[in-house]
Structure 1
Amino acid sequence: MKTVEEIYETLKAGMAQRAGFVPEDGCDLAVRLWAAAAQIQALEIQADWVLDQSFPQTAEGIYLDRHADMRGLTRLPASKAVGVLRFYVESAPAGELRVPAGTVCMSADGTRFQTTEEAVLTPEVLYADAPAEALEGGAQGNVVAGAVNILTACPVAVTGCSNPAAFSGGSDAEDDEALRERILASYRRLPNGANAAWYETTAMSHTGVAAAKAVGRARGIGTVDVYIAAESGAPEEELIAEVQADLAVKREIAVDVQVKAPTEKTVDVAVELDVGDGDFDSVKTETEQMLLGFFSGRLLGMPVRLAELGDKLYHLEGVENYRIISPAEDVDGDATVLPVLGEMTVTQMGA
């Protein structure tokens, strides 16, 4: 890309060749040439930008979305973390005590969660659970057990709240690089209405499906098993039935297609971190949140590589060094298997 100065000098040289004189710097004609040079450079920048958006290898944002649309793909949206909220009372109620759906609780960092069903405390019981989800999609909703402990509006007689298990399944919207890889993969594995790529693309077109893997001849000649996963992990029966009904209509003639949930493989993760003079507790929270987000439904059929985990750990703000204790080696991928996070342990190196 030429600079404005280079373009200006080219224009001056052209002027001298055609007019027989060189305009002096600062004169009206020189100012006009400088303005023209700036505009020419802006047009060159715009032309380069347009060229970049014309190809999926370099396009960004909504222009990359349009390339994806041409391949029958859509950017995966942000998903909400899901879990359970537990509500406590100091003394058992005499009758039923109901905590309505939509009750909002909050973690210390301000992330909000709401119940999706009501919780009912029965007589002689000091707590009740209700399914809940983060109010907003994104990885910030992935929090460890016990992190959600602030009542934003206290229901009658309820004195406290908590989450007995981690909230997981929250993820940010698919970034450009991940979407770009899927677009380019769709060119390398062209769906033809009969191959694995077609079955996977069709399954992924359903809202709620974060990943899909097709296995040909899974039960013999003329059979295809399609394994799907939701962002939070194993898919609901309703989602499986929805994809099954769609593929049953679109499948090849005389092909038996079954849509299934993958087998879950628990992966325990234990890491040690060196944070130097930093705050270990805050880095630990970030690490736990990263791990909860990493082990999502998008891992279906994928290996868990220590190198990838290490790269994510090392690039967390505040981490100066790390050691992965578990798993001791890479976990191989299998189209029928979804790696899920088991016991998670984050400790300080040298403590």
Structure 2
Amino acid sequence: MYEGQTFETILERMLNRVTNNVDKRQGSIIFDALAPAAVMFAQYYIDLEINLDLVMPDTATDEYLDRVAVELDVVRKPAQKAIRAGQFYDSGNGPIDIPIGSRFSIDDVDFTAISKTGPGTYKLECETAGEIGNTIAGQLIPIDYIPGLATAVLGAVLVAGSDAEDDESLRARYFDRAQKPITSGNKYHYEYWAKQVQGIGDARAIPVWNGPNTVKVVLITDNKRSPAPEKIAEADSYIRSVMPIGVDLTVAGVRELAIDLSGALTLETGVNVSVVLGAVSDGLDDYLKSIALKEAVIRYSKIANIILDADGVIDYANLTVNGGTSNIVLDPDQIGIVGTVDLS
């Protein structure tokens, strides 16, 4: 909006207001007197442009986007702590119980035992919120002495940790709220409620899916996968707390359909096929995530283009997607995920 308000433009406009019987050349008294003011005015216009961007929903960032979004009751989701399984053994490799609240360390990240799930098996909560709690694996070191404990192992991810919601995800939820008419208990309302739950990246509400007065809400995580049972239960509980009475509600994770590729590749000389397979897998993953719960068709032609776009690929032959050469049509509660990529 203010791109034209440059130092040169402003200075020229100021000098034009000075009578022509005064020396206005560069280095003159009037030129040197007006130039610093023109610099400041140009900076003010830059600041105005920045400030305008910070109050508009399509360009606001960070805390300024938070302020815009809250006007429609859309609040940034905070980081969430990962919940992991932990197994604990004595010197004879038998399971051993530990006190609830026991703390353990691994790779400078600490975990706390929060509940027992079986003999020598516990749920451990990462003390640091975010995705960092999902990726660590190996042996735990007890922070405090636990009698009889010989080995502690950090196991599977039970509830994935997540970083604080990024700007683009928050912006998308804001525009969803602004553009989709939410009325009491319509499908958009159920989707809106579901996406308020930390870790739920998107949702699809299916009205009358099992007869009158039934609603099914299908969930995916921020990483476009089916949520853990604990997260589905959390979403179910929250939606029930705010939805209209008398509705038969079902909340479920999406059904994941593995997308398997098979075919032959013609590669440039010296290209490592494993590198190509990695690039194709990454491209397929990006594509499937981009359409998850948004499009009902996985397109054969799109997958073919992903293969051709991989560095080092000249051509392909006999490409099959899940054994065929046609588009894959998904059910309303289904998404595609990367399966086997068998290209050689």
- TM-score band (shorter)? 0.5 to 0.7
**Cα deviation per residue 1:16-73 (whole Å; 9 max; x = unaligned)?**
xx36313454455433312211221122112212322343222222222233223332
Equivalent in 207, 215, 239 of residue 216 of structure 1: 207
Does the aligned pair in 2 maintain the 1:216–1:223 contact within 8 Å?
Answer: yes
Does the aligned pair in 1 maintain the 2:216–2:252 contact within 8 Å?
Answer: no
CA distance in 2, matches of 1:259, 1:131: 27
Superposed CA RMSD in Å reads 4.6
Are residue 151 (structure 1) and residue 148 (structure 2) matched? no
Residue 273 (structure 1) aligns with:
none
CA distance in 2, matches of 1:326, 1:137: 39
Matched positions, count: 305
After superposition, the Cα gap between the structure-2 partners of 1:134 and 1:6, relative to the gap in structure 1 and judged at 3 Å, is same
Are residue 45 (structure 1) and residue 42 (structure 2) matched? no
Does the aligned pair in 2 maintain the 1:228–1:261 contact within 8 Å?
Answer: yes
CA distance in 2, matches of 1:58, 1:52: 5
**Cα deviation per residue 1:73-128 (whole Å; 9 max; x = unaligned)?**
222222222220222332368x9652442412214xx343332226886xxxxxx2
Q: Secondary structure at the match of 1:261?
A: strand
Q: Which amino acid aligns with 1:42?
A: Q
Q: Secondary structure at the match of 2:156?
A: coil
Does the aligned pair in 2 maintain the 1:56–1:64 contact within 8 Å?
Answer: yes
Residue 176 (structure 1) aligns with:
167
Q: Secondary structure at the match of 2:161?
A: coil
After superposition, the Cα gap between the structure-2 partners of 1:151 and 1:267, relative to the gap in structure 1 and judged at 3 Å, is farther
Are residue 139 (structure 1) and residue 131 (structure 2) matched? yes
Q: Secondary structure at the match of 1:248?
A: coil
After superposition, the Cα gap between the structure-2 partners of 1:80 and 1:340, relative to the gap in structure 1 and judged at 3 Å, is farther
After superposition, the Cα gap between the structure-2 partners of 1:183 and 1:37, relative to the gap in structure 1 and judged at 3 Å, is same
Are residue 233 (structure 1) and residue 228 (structure 2) matched? yes
CA distance in 2, matches of 1:161, 1:303: 45
Identity %: 21
**Cα deviation per residue 1:221-246 (whole Å; 9 max; x = unaligned)?**
34323344676533354552342132
Does the aligned pair in 1 maintain the 2:90–2:150 contact within 8 Å?
Answer: yes
Report deviation, 1:131.
0.7
Are residue 336 (structure 1) and residue 333 (structure 2) matched? yes
**Cα deviation per residue 1:305-351 (whole Å; 9 max; x = unaligned)?**
7989x99xx9xxxx9889xx99899976554347789x9x99xx99x
Q: Which amino acid aligns with 1:12?
A: L
Are residue 105 (structure 1) and residue 105 (structure 2) matched? yes
Report deviation, 1:302.
7.5
**Cα deviation per residue 1:127-186 (whole Å; 9 max; x = unaligned)?**
x22111322222222226xx2324152533323322233466222222112222222233
CA distance in 2, matches of 1:258, 1:237: 12
Does the aligned pair in 1 maintain the 2:83–2:126 contact within 8 Å?
Answer: yes
Report deviation, 1:208.
6.3
Are residue 114 (structure 1) and residue 115 (structure 2) matched? no
Give the structure-1-normalised TM-score: 0.66
Q: Which amino acid aligns with 1:244?
A: R
Are residue 202 (structure 1) and residue 193 (structure 2) matched? yes
Residue 10 (structure 1) aligns with:
13
CA distance in 2, matches of 1:304, 1:149: 43
Report deviation, 1:210.
4.5
After superposition, the Cα gap between the structure-2 partners of 1:80 and 1:97, relative to the gap in structure 1 and judged at 3 Å, is closer
Q: Map 1:314-333 onto structure 2 (within 5 A).
A: none
Q: Which amino acid aligns with 1:188?
A: Q
Q: Secondary structure at the match of 1:214?
A: strand
CA distance in 2, matches of 1:6, 1:170: 52
Give the structure-2-normalised TM-score: 0.67
Equivalent in 220, 229, 246 of residue 242 of structure 2: 246
Of the structure 1 ranges 211-220 and 227-236, higher mean CA displacement relative to structure 2 is found in 227-236
Does the aligned pair in 2 maintain the 1:143–1:167 contact within 8 Å?
Answer: no
CA distance in 2, matches of 1:340, 1:114: 33
Does the aligned pair in 2 maintain the 1:79–1:170 contact within 8 Å?
Answer: yes
